[in-house]
Homo-oligomer: A and B are copies of this chain.
Amino acid sequence: MLIGELAERAGTSTRTLRYYEAHGLVHAERSANGYRVYDEAELRVVREIRALLDVGFGLDDVRPFVACLRAGNTSGDVCPDSVQVLRRKLAEVDAYLDRLGAVREQLHTQLTHAIAHRERTCPKRRQLPR
């Protein structure tokens, strides 16, 4: 399998695959003419990477999962390192949810106050002219 086919099958670009390789995440043999030749297993690897990036992981966070797949596991998240990353990421997400919830509250009260102020200042104006 050449890089174009892998890219299409994984739903990404050749540029991205070369980028992953440059960062040590995806491996490829080389054919006589220098073309990258991929094993079928790399497709799973690339999909794992993509799935994790979509969830907000960084490339470094993904490494243990890739290594886990390469170690022969059917799923990339069953190895200790992966689990550790999962825990850390879950904590990060929880922390961010908290912060974002607080921000939401602030925005909400600020919006409420602003509208109330407009009511006081200029009562004849309708709230939603629509």
Contacts and interface: CB of A to CB of B under 8 A. Distances in A.
Contact of A110 (B86, B106, B115): B86
Interface residues of A, number: 31
Interface stretch (A5-13, A37-45, A95-103): A95-103
Contacts of A80: 118
Given A55-B103, A83-B118, A101-B97, A110 B77 contact: yes
Number of copies of this chain that the complex holds = 2
A127 to B, nearest CB: 10
Given A55-B106, A103-B56, A114 B97 contact: no
Interface in A20-64: 55-56
A56 B121 CA distance: 29
Interface of A: 55-56, 75, 77-78, 80, 82-83, 86-87, 89-90, 93-94, 96-97, 100-101, 103-104, 106-108, 110-111, 113-115, 117-118, 121
22 contacts: A55-B106, A75-B114, A75-B117, A77-B111, A78-B117, A78-B121, A80-B118, A82-B114, A83-B111, A83-B114, A83-B115, A86-B111, A86-B114, A87-B111, A90-B104, A93-B100, A93-B103, A93-B107, A94-B104, A97-B97, A97-B104, A100-B100
